Amino acid sequence: MAMMRCRDNEIMVVAELLEGRILPVTHEVIAFALALRGGDSQFIRMIVPGRDIQEMANELADAIGIDVIALEGDHLDPYNAEAWKMALSALLAEWNPRYVCIPHTSLGCDFAPGLAAGIEASCITAIEGVCNREGLITFTRSIFNGKVMMQVASDADMTVLTVLPGVFKAEEKFPTFPDHKKGRVEVVRVPEVLQKTRVLGMIRAEERDLDLSIADVIVSAGRGIGHEENLALIRQLAGLFSKSAVGCSRTVCDLGWLGYKHQIGLTGKTVSPKLYIACGISGAIQHVAGMSGSKYVVAVNKDPGAAIFQMADVGIVEDLTIFIPLVIDLSQTDPHSPA
Amino acid sequence: MMKILVCIKQVLDSDRPVRIHSSGKWIETDPHGLYRMNRFDEFALEEALRIREAFPGTWVDALSVGPERAAQTVRRALELGADEGIHILLDDERYRMPWETASRIAAYAGNKGYDLILAGVMAEDDMQGQVGPMVAEIMGYSSATAVMSEKLIPDDNRIYVERELEGGHREAFALTLPALLSVQSGINRPRYPALSHVLRARSQKLITIAAKTWNPPAPRDHVVCLVEPAPVKSSVFLSGSPLEKAEKLVKILRENAWL
C-alpha cells in the first residue's frame, strides 16, 4: 500500500519489544507523541523493528489505530545497536519526520544519541514534559538529580527524543479520523550487512527476592545514609512494620552496601507500596521512576534542597542517625502511657 | 600497544546548593570552587587502569572539555594513574550541549588511533548520557552503553561486553575494535590515588588545547531556560526539634495504622 511521504510535521515512534511483545512503555511514548501533536494522531506513525514482525505490525495497527512501518531484518532481532542505527537512519532519511520518539530505556539510551549524531538531528534525552512557549516547542528534563529542570529546544530539522518511562499515561485506544479507523502497515525490508557488533545473547538476572514487590512498607536507603554501618538503622526501622522490606538507590548497590536485588529505580525494581520511607535519598529521576507509584512517601534527608521532597507527603529535614533512633524508641513505647 | 582514551567531566560537588544563573541558561559558578570528577567517569577511568594492569604497555589518556577549572579534574586523573592528561579549554562557563562536546572530543581523538574510548554512562550534572555514543558515531567506532563488564583477549581484535538492561538482566556483545564503551556505575570499585602517582602528577604538564583551535560545531539544540521543579505533591515539612519531629511522624504512622 503506497503512502504519502515526507510530511514535515510527522512524528515517528520507535517501538520497544521484548520477546515478540510490545512493551507498555511504547504506549507511553505514543501518548507523549500525541501530546506533542496536540492530540492529533493523523501524523503519528510507529516503527517496529524486528524479524518476522508483519503479523504483529498488523495487529498493532488494528488495535492502536495508527500507521505502522514494519522494519524487517534478520539482524534487527535481537537488538544490535549498529544494525538498528543503520536501518533507522536510512528509513528516517527517506521519510524525513519532524520528531523521532524513543523510550528512554536501556535500549533507547543505547542507540538514540548515535542515531541522532549520524543524521544531523538534535537529540534530547529523558524527557518529562513538553510545552509550547509562544510557538517554540521546548522539552523539559531533570538535571542535578532533579534539583533543577532544564528546558531544551531543537535547532535542527529532525529531532530525536527519548521519553522517560512512567511520566506520560498510556492509553488503550487513540483517537483516529473517520476514514482511518485502522492503521495501515507498510513493510520495509532491510538488507543484512556485515556488522562490527555481534550479539552474544541475553544473561538473565538471578532469581530475585520477592520481598520488595509484596511489601506494604518499604524503607529505602540512599547515599545520604553516609556509612554502611547506618544500614542497621534502616533495617531496624523496617523491622517496626509488618510486611516490610529494605530497598535502596543504585549508589548504595554500587558502593557494595546492599545487593542489586534491593535496588529500586529505572534499572532496578519498580515498587508501589502503601508506605515508602526514603532515607538519605536524593530523589534522582532514575530512582523516583521506580517508586513514584507509592501511596504515601515519607522523606528524611538533611539536604532541604533534595528532589525527593518534591514528591514526599511528609518531609523531615534531619540527620537520620539522630532522627531514626528517636522514631524507633518512640514507636516502641505504648502510645497510651503518659510520656 | 593498546591506546585508551577516557573522557572525564568536571562537575559541581553534589552536596553544594545549585543556583540558577541570572542568564537562566545554566547554574551559577560555585564561589568556593568545589568541583570534582563526575563519579560515573571515575568508573570509566578505573576500568582503563585495570586494562593497563592486565595488558602492560597499554597507554591511558584522560581528556576533559571544560573551562579553566577543569584542569584540576584532568590532574586528578593523573593522580589516579592516567599516563597523560588532555584539557580542551573552553573560554567561558557557558553550558555546552552534548553534540558540541562530542564534536570537540572527536576532533581531538580523530587521528590519535585510540583502540578503546571509555566514558561514564552520563554526567551527574546535566544527566544527558549522550556524549559517549555520539563520539562513537562521529568516529565510526562500534559502541555499547551501560556496560557492566568488559573483557579483552590477547590477539583478538574484539572486546566482549555485557550491558545492563532493566531489572538486572544483561545482554552480551562482541564489538570489533576500535570501540567506545560508556560504563555503568558499579562495574568496579574506583581506587584511591597512589602516592607515587600523586607526586608525578604534581610536576607533569597537561596538554592544553584551546577549544577554538577547531571550528565551532554548529549547535543542533539549545537550552531555553532552567527552572525550579514544581512539587509533585504538596508535602508537609515537620517542624520542631528532632524529638518533636519524631513524635509527629510516629503519630502519622499510627493514625494510618502502619504501626
Please tell me the distance in Å from A178's CA to the nearest CA on chain B: 37
Minimal-distance CA residue of chain B relative to A80: B173
- Per the CB < 8 Å rule, is B167 touching A268? yes
Q: Under the phi-then-psi rule, with left for phi > 0, alpha for psi from -120 to 50, and beta for the rest, what region is A294?
A: beta
Minimal-distance CA residue of chain A relative to B174: A198
CA distance B166 to A208: 13
**Are the CB atoms for B101 and B66 separated by under 8 Å?**
no
CA distance A126 to A288: 13
Lowest mean pLDDT among A262-271, A326-335, B86-95, B244-253: A326-335
Residue environment code for B89-104, b if the CB has 16+ CB neighbours within 10 A, otherwise e:
bbeeeebbbbbbbbbb
pLDDT at A8 over 90: no
Amino acid A214: pLDDT: 81
Contacts of B233 in chain A (CB under 8 A): 297, 310-313
Mutate to test the interface with A, among B127, B188, B222, B238 (most CBs of A within 10 A): B127
User: With an 8 Å Cβ cutoff, is A182 touching chain B?
Assistant: no
Amino acid A23: pLDDT: 85
- Per the CB < 8 Å rule, is B134 touching A113? yes
Residue A234 corresponds to which amino acid? I
In chain A, which residues fall in CATH 3.40.50.1220?
211-332
Which residues contact residue A81 at a Cβ distance below 8 angstroms, ignoring those fewer than 6 apart?
A110, A111, A114, A197, B142, B143, B144
- Per the CB < 8 Å rule, is A113 touching B98? yes
CA distance B15 to A114: 32
For A151-187, give the secondary structure using H, E and C: EEEECCCCEEEEECCCCCCCCCCCCCCCCCCCCCEEE
* DSSP conformational letter for B27: B
pLDDT at A307 over 90: yes
Amino acid B167: pLDDT: 74
Please identify among residues 36-75 of chain B the ones whose CB lies closer than 8 Å to any CB of chain A. none
How would residue A173 be classed by pLDDT, with cut points 50, 70 and 90? low
Taking Cα atoms as reference points, which of B237, B125, B251, B11 lies closest to residue A302?
Answer: B237
pLDDT at B86 over 90: yes
Three-state DSSP state, B79 = helix
- Per the CB < 8 Å rule, is B245 touching A311? no
- Per the CB < 8 Å rule, is A309 touching B15? no
User: With an 8 Å Cβ cutoff, is A107 touching chain B?
Assistant: yes
CATH T-level fold of A211-332: Rossmann fold (3.40.50)
Cβ burial, residue A157 (10 Å; 0-12/13-18/19+): middle
Average pLDDT over residues A159-180: 75
- Per the CB < 8 Å rule, is A318 touching B235? no
Lowest mean pLDDT among A144-153, A176-185, B117-126, B232-241: A176-185
User: With an 8 Å Cβ cutoff, is A59 touching chain B?
Assistant: no
CATH T-level fold of B3-213: Rossmann fold (3.40.50)
Average pLDDT over residues A197-220: 81
- Around Cβ A321, how many Cβ atoms within 10 Å? 15
Please report the number of interchain residue pairs, chain A to chain B, with beta-carbon separation below 8 angstroms: 265
In chain A, which residues fall in CATH 3.40.50.620?
11-189
Mutate to test the interface with B, among A314, A322, A324 (most CBs of B within 10 A): A314
Mutate to test the interface with B, among A107, A139, A143 (most CBs of B within 10 A): A143
- Per the CB < 8 Å rule, is A110 touching B163? yes
**Are the CB atoms for A309 and A252 separated by under 8 Å?**
no
CA distance A57 to A50: 10
ipTM: 0.92
CA distance B235 to B240: 16
Domain A11-189 classified CATH 3.90.78.10? Answer: no
Q: Give the three cell numbers for residue A61.
A: 495497527
Torsion of CA A17, A187, B141, B7, to 10 degrees: -40
How would residue B212 be classed by pLDDT, with cut points 50, 70 and 90? very high
